[in-house]
Amino acid sequence: NAGVTQTPKFQVLKTGQSMTLQCAQDMNHNSMYWYRQDPGMGLRLIYYSASEGTTDKGEVPNGYNVSRLNKREFSLRLESAAPSQTSVYFCASSPTGDMNTEAFFGQGTRLTVV
Amino acid sequence: AQKITQTQPGMFVQEKEAVTLDCTYDTSDPSYGLFWYKQPSSGEMIFLIYQGSYDQQNATEGRYSLNFQKARKSANLVISASQLGDSAMYFCAMREASHASGGSYIPTFGRGTSLIVHP
């Protein structure tokens, strides 16, 4: 029962370095999301993908890019990491066309940029 | 304006007592879904309970119930008989038709409430 799998779980980057956060789901969901969680701010949407081949910006997209590689995978890339991107990142997925089903979350990636 | 408002940054409750975590929402859609998640210190997001806007009865799942007051746009989570393991962050979330793209109803989250259960 894998559900949504994120890698890595922890990462420390130096300012200016790049990295890609990986996310894969095995529930055949069309919709996938990337959120960041900061203390006192809840979860804020970075990017989402309603279906394979489509991506759209969320509330806080600056400094990030995404790729929906196929139906299963949705990656988040930081091209030049900044300390302001220190956060916990969550990938989530849900069936498209169904607002009555919960979103399923990965375990999260704790990223520190020094 | 925030779509989901959780006004209690922190709450304390005695073990075995009931506690209510507040959530108000803002939408003009007639159709929407409301969700509560639990995030323990280990970090994962655990789905607890769901309430649909057309549901006549309040949702219940074990010790969790959702006090849904549609006219007041509130969806408070009630935890009965609190346990030490209930200590966690709790997030209220909403999915609505007007915040959708390509058929994807994008979940919007509140800022969360930290619950501490005292023995």
Q: Considering only the beta carbons, identify the residue of A41, A99, A101 that sits closest to B32.
A: A99
Mean model confidence pLDDT for chain B: 95
* b/e burial code for range A25-59 (CB count within 10 A of at least 16 → b): beeebbbbbbbbbeeeebbbbbbbbbbeeebeebe
What is the predicted pLDDT for the residue at A1?
66
Contact (CB<8Å) B95/A99: yes
Question: Which A residues 73-112 touch B at CB under 8 Å?
Answer: 88, 90, 92, 94, 96-105, 107-108, 110
Per-residue pLDDT of B78-113, as tens digits, reads 999 999 999 999 999 999 877 777 777 899 999 999
| B59-68: average pLDDT | 97
CA atoms within 13 A on the CB side of A111: 32
User: Which of A92-96, B37-41, B70-74 bottoms out in mean pLDDT, i.e. has the lowest?
Assistant: A92-96
Name the residue of chain A whose CA is nearest to B92's CA.
Answer: A42
**Where residue B61 falls among pLDDT bands split at 50, 70, 90?**
very high
Judged against a pLDDT cut of 70, whether residue B9 lies above it is answered with: yes
Name the residue of chain A whose CA is nearest to B89's CA.
Answer: A42
Per-residue pLDDT of A64-91, as tens digits, reads 999 998 999 999 999 999 999 999 999 9
User: Among residues B87, B117, B116, B86, which one has the least CA distance to residue B15?
Assistant: B117
Nearest-angstrom CA–CA distance, B95 and B106: 6
Per-residue pLDDT of A13-39, as tens digits, reads 999 999 999 999 999 999 999 999 998
Q: Is B24 helix (H, G, I), strand (E, B) or coil?
A: strand
Contact (CB<8Å) B108/A45: yes
Q: Considering only the beta carbons, identify the residue of B32, B105, B109 that sits closest to A43.
A: B109
Name the residue of chain A whose CA is nearest to B52's CA.
Answer: A100
What is the predicted pLDDT for the residue at B100?
76
